């Protein structure tokens, strides 16, 4: 009876040991197996046996990873303190090299990115940091990629997320932007005035050659003025007053400035005046 119990106990222990030695490698992982500290094999996704006690497994994720890094108050080339934040997109391309040649490849990538970013800020002025971010992204990615490839790391790209500068400097740049916008608006307004003056000059030449056109234009201006529902006081030049008097068959005495008063709103159905 004791022998049977012993066999059962041994079988249970072996079963537990076997279960403890089973390792599941997921689709996006790869597993390195070490036997007594020496690299033995590289296992693909699936179910594998790693004998506990004398074998050890290291599972590495091969999916794309994001690493955020930043510089705190780094001086640009024009001596402006800048805090710049960026994101690195990368993944492990060679699992064996990443595990065997770098002690902690994630921390190493983080430090490499911070060092590269700090060096980049110190070599560029504030204007370049604010306006040429695409070039800076490519430059950071190329520098990090050149170092990380030797560690089995594949760098996808780098994107600068934010740039922080001192508050007084932000206000100064804001005022400068407003001044530039106002300058551009005044330039556009001046160009519009030039175009309007040229069109007025063309119209004046037409009116100069046709008295009828000038009279029709005067009547149209008068009609637009008296369309208002409120009391309207108009000061018409002598030429326009004489023209209206001539067209109505009456002669008005010439005056320097003849006022015309619309004392009340127009009635809904105006009477016809002979």
Sorted by where each begins, the domain ranges of the chain are 8-61, 65-169, 177-209, 223-264
Give the pLDDT confidence score for residue 271 in this predicted structure: 41
Give the pLDDT confidence score for residue 254 in this predicted structure: 43
* Cα separation, 95 vs 105, whole angstroms: 11
Q: Pull the structure tokens for residue 240.
A: 């326009």
Q: Pull the structure tokens for residue 138.
A: 């490519």
Q: Pull the structure tokens for residue 145.
A: 């990629």
Confirm if 222 and 243 have CB atoms less than 8 A apart.
no
Please report, for residues 13, 16, 26, 49, the alpha-carbon distance to residue 19 in angstroms, rounded to integers and kept in the order given: 10, 5, 17, 9
Please report, for residues 33, 103, 203, 207, 247, the alpha-carbon distance to residue 244 in angstroms, rounded to integers and kept in the order given: 107, 99, 21, 16, 5
Which of 119, 121, 94 has its CA nearest to residue 105? 94
Give the pLDDT confidence score for residue 131 in this predicted structure: 80
Q: 46: which strand partners?
A: 25
- The per-residue pLDDT of the chain, averaged, comes to 76
Burial class (CB in 10 A: 0-12, 13-18, 19+), 257: exposed
The CATH H-level (homologous superfamily) assignment of domain 65-169 is Band 7 domain (3.30.479.30)
Question: Over 60: is that where the pLDDT of 55 sits?
Answer: yes
Beta strand extents in 108-266 (DSSP E only): 153-164, 232-237, 257-262
Question: Over 70: is that where the pLDDT of 253 sits?
Answer: no
Q: Is 273 helix (H, G, I), strand (E, B) or coil?
A: coil
Q: 260: which strand partners?
A: 234
Give the pTM: 0.56
Please report, for residues 11, 14, 232, the alpha-carbon distance to residue 1 in angstroms, rounded to integers and kept in the order given: 15, 20, 124
Please report, for residues 32, 49, 96, 104, 136, the alpha-carbon distance to residue 100 in angstroms, rounded to integers and kept in the order given: 10, 21, 6, 10, 32
Q: Euclidean distance between the first and final Cα of the chain, in Å?
A: 139
Q: Which residues of 93-106 are buried (b: 16+ CB within 10 A; e: fewer)?
A: ebbebbbeebeebe
For 25, the enclosing helix (H) or strand (E) is strand 22-25
Q: What are phi and psi of 256, to 5 degrees?
A: -70, -35
- What average pLDDT does the segment 40-50 reach? 84
**Range name among 34-38, 123-127, 154-158, 232-236 with the lowest pLDDT average:** 232-236
Q: What percent of the chain has pLDDT over 90?
A: 0
């Amino acid at each position: 009876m004791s022998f049977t119990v012993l066999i059962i106990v041994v079988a249970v222990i072996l079963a537990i040991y076997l279960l403890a030695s089973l390792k599941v490698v997921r689709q996006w992982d790869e597993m390195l197996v070490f036997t007594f500290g020496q690299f033995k094999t590289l296992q693909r996704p699936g179910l594998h046996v790693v004998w506990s006690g004398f074998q050890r497994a290291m599972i590495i994720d091969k999916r794309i990873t994001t690493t955020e890094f930043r510089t705190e108050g780094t001086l640009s080339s024009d001596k402006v303190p800048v805090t710049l934040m960026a994101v690195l997109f990368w993944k492990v391309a060679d699992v064996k090299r990443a595990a065997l040649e770098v002690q902690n490849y994630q921390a190493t990538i983080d430090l490499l990115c911070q060092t590269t970013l700090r060096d980049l800020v110190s070599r560029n002025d504030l204007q370049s940091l604010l306006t040429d971010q695409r070039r800076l992204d490519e430059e950071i990615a190329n520098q990090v990629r050149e170092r990380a490839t030797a560690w089995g790391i594949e760098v996808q790209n780098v994107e600068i997320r934010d740039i922080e500068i001192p508050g007084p400097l932000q206000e100064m740049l804001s005022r400068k932007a407003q001044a530039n916008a106002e300058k551009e608006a005044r330039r556009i307004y001046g160009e519009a005035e030039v175009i309007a003056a040229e069109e007025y000059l063309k119209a004046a030449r037409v009116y100069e050659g046709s008295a009828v056109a000038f009279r029709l234009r005067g009547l149209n201006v008068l009609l637009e003025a008296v369309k208002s529902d409120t009391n309207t006081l108009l000061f018409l030049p002598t030429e326009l007053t004489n023209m209206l008097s001539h067209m109505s068959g009456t002669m008005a005495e010439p005056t320097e400035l003849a006022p015309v008063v619309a004392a009340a709103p127009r009635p809904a159905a105006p009477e016809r005046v002979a």
